[in-house]
Amino acid sequence: MTMLLFSFSRTAADYRLAYTILLAHAAAMASLVGYLGVAPHFQTASRYADWSFSAITSMASLYTLRTVLKMLARREEHPTAALKAHMEKVLLGNDRLAHATHSTAIFVAMIFVISTVKSTIPAIVPFSWDESLIQLARVLFGGVDPHVLTSKVFGNVYSLVALNFVYNLWMVNFTLLMIVVAWIGNHELRLRYILTTLLTWFVGGNILALPLSSSGPCFVELLYRDDTYAPLMALLRNVDADTGMVGALIAQDILWEAYTGDGGAVSGISAMPSLHVAVAVIIACVTWQRGGVCRKIGLAYAVTIYIGSIQLGWHYATDGIIGGGIALLFWKPFADLTDWSLSRRLEPAEAVRGI
């Protein structure tokens, strides 16, 4: 137990900057919500936290089951003792359990904070930027609405179903990466990913999302009677009627019902900037560090999420550009900040005194 406590205490220094960003984020948003007297929506955050814990538990159970089956296949003479020794090596070797605990705690707390505030954004700052973002996207794409261009290639049944499938896996991919990053041996990459994600979600998900409050293409007709995206939404509904495989429409209906009603288990309409694209770009940055085919997969995933955000009616083209730009903006300097954070590690004697 003493060694475990020593491990948690010693590794805590590596996450000082991450905890500082997290606490600053929570304090800033709590102060804003309190000052404005707005009731925060905790239901979505609680649901996401439950999903995160379920995913962590499932992954741990699957890993344990896989280990047990491998030992049984090898016909270990003392399987219980072998399993105990293996788990001790995995959990305690290189302070892995301590790093994973810090990382997971930061991620879950971050999800709770960002989800709470995201669900509350329309109550804090009513939607006001949709028309400007529509016009800006049109200017950037030569006077043509971006979804018109993407529909020329991805407006068929097969492409829409494929885009919807990949896009709907975003939360799964983010959660899995959250778990994998917590346990990888490359500590520098783990810390860089954590710091980049924290600040991207803080700045993009709240600081910019509040003043740039917008609903997104799928809601503009319902809110403003603006039929710019009516053809796109009609296309999505027609494909869903034929296949039943455009789940984005179901999610959009859930968010709209939560917005117009008393809230729900999942709520929060906020288009600018796109955190879906931001996270996909961060994933691409992580895979880029791996090199080889991982780079191509990560890049293809980020591009697919960006196209899907437009073609499925979730985001204006500018939302993804800004979201991805923020992620790239923070990824580069956090290489140096990661080195700085790791250079502030506690020496063993100092860590022991802190227990």
Question: For residue 142, what is the enclosing H or E element?
Answer: none
In contact, 246 and 236? CB cutoff 8 Å: yes
What confidence score (pLDDT) does residue 263 get?
A: 57
The C-alpha atoms of residue 116 and residue 56 are separated, in whole angstroms, by 21
Contacts of 107 (CB under 8 A, 6+ apart): 52, 178, 182, 194, 197
Q: What does pTM read for this prediction? A: 0.85
Residue pLDDT, tens place only, 78-133:
778 877 787 777 766 677 788 888 888 888 888 888 878 877 788 888 899 999 99
Residue pLDDT, tens place only, 55-67:
778 878 888 888 8
Residue pLDDT, tens place only, 13-48:
788 888 898 998 889 888 887 877 777 766 766 777
Peptide bond between residue 273 and the one before it cis (omega within 30 degrees of 0): yes
What confidence score (pLDDT) does residue 99 get?
A: 83
The C-alpha atoms of residue 66 and residue 69 are separated, in whole angstroms, by 5
The C-alpha atoms of residue 165 and residue 154 are separated, in whole angstroms, by 13
Contacts of 145 (CB under 8 A, 6+ apart): 134, 137, 138, 228, 229
pLDDT at 349 > cutoff 60: no
What tokens were used for 225?
Answer: 């009677």
What confidence score (pLDDT) does residue 30 get?
A: 84
Average pLDDT over residues 142-169: 94
In this structure, the number of other CB atoms found within 10 A of the CB of residue 66 comes to 10
The C-alpha atoms of residue 96 and residue 182 are separated, in whole angstroms, by 8
Average pLDDT over residues 240-262: 88
In contact, 274 and 282? CB cutoff 8 Å: no
